[in-house]
Structure 1
């Protein structure tokens, strides 16, 4: 589970600091922006019609800028290669699934750092009250796609690869990683 990584564990133990939160946002930005860049070339927006609304990198940029951070991408490749619709759905399963813990994380951010959706916490606020509905819509789109193309193995293997690479990226808290991404 991602919440057991050293960085995200701060939310579980509620000992989050602004420095740790900024590091988390930087890590998430690097991962999500690279993943979204790969998804652009798969045609996912034609199958998942609200895909554009599901992109998260812009929220992370907004949160980091609100917190006074400058954005610069790293050269490190931290995501799996995504080149098909099935792989897109697998990767999006992880991305969309990450929004489900946002309600808890948002509450911790508000309580401990006084950060809300308009003050550096928009990424974890996610879809707000619509989170469950958006998750359900995504799952329905995924099911419809898979019923038509029967590519369970590719979807599942990409979801697993995406999750593992995301976890590895979050566990690697080498300061050089975040220094490369945000100067």
Structure 2
């Protein structure tokens, strides 16, 4: 019997993720204030606080479940500590960081495929961070030492780590149902992130 998991006409996991999240990605980008003329140092700090409030719980959810397929190097890719360092550099104490609100409405990450979908969104954001890093350096004089390390979290390794991640996804033997779970989780990650940032009043 022919298995649909090996149907050459079926989209790859990466293709399915790109197609399934493209519009959500564009919609969120339009609402981020990094290129707004009204963005100032205070708004930027609120953005970093809000990013921490999402990344801390979603990374905890991802890594505590032990569902991520073998091959993903968590130690190299965890981003919450960098956000903590940025907040410290912006004058936010550890006690104040601990007291920050955290997103409670997260995507369901109860399968390996769902974890891959969420990771696709989080890893993809590192590429966009390169553009934002240059904009923040020019506009607010923000750099890796004074509150902008998250925007360049992988530094010179950004391109290579993205390619490594795509290669990792390409080796995931997911059937059609699992691919759909990944896409649903990626879409939910975008939606939850936008709703969270909206609730923190940091979007345009």
Shorter-chain TM band:
0.7 to 0.9
Q: How does 1:1-183 map to 2 (within 5 A)?
A: 1=26, 2-5=28-31, 8-9=32-33, 11-44=34-67, 47-69=70-92, 70-71=96-97, 72-74=99-101, 76-145=103-172, 148-150=173-175, 151-174=178-201
Q: Which has the larger radius of gyration?
A: 2
Superposed displacement of residue 159, structure 1:
0.3
CA 1:97/1:117 → structure 2, altered by over 3 Å: closer, same or farther?
Answer: same
Residues in 1 aligned to 2:103 and 2:138: alpha-carbon distance in whole angstroms:
34
Larger mean CA deviation between 67-76 and 113-122 belongs to 67-76
Quote the residue 1:178 is aligned against.
none
Please report the TM-score for the alignment, with normalisation by the length of structure 1.
0.84
Count of equivalent residues: 170
CA 1:15/1:103 → structure 2, altered by over 3 Å: closer, same or farther?
Answer: farther
CA contact (8 A) 1:41 1:83 kept: no
Please report the TM-score for the alignment, with normalisation by the length of structure 2.
0.76
The one of the two structures with greater contact order (alpha-carbon pairs below 8 A, sep at least 6) is 2
Superposed displacement of residue 74, structure 1:
2.4
CA-based RMSD: 1.9
Larger mean CA deviation between 161-170 and 79-88 belongs to 79-88
CA 1:44/1:136 → structure 2, altered by over 3 Å: closer, same or farther?
Answer: farther
CA 1:149/1:91 → structure 2, altered by over 3 Å: closer, same or farther?
Answer: same
Secondary structure of 1:149's partner?
coil
Residues in 2 aligned to 1:65 and 1:153: alpha-carbon distance in whole angstroms:
39
- Output one character per residue of 1:63-100: Cα deviation in whole Å (capped at 9) or x when no partner: 00111113024265032131221111111111011111
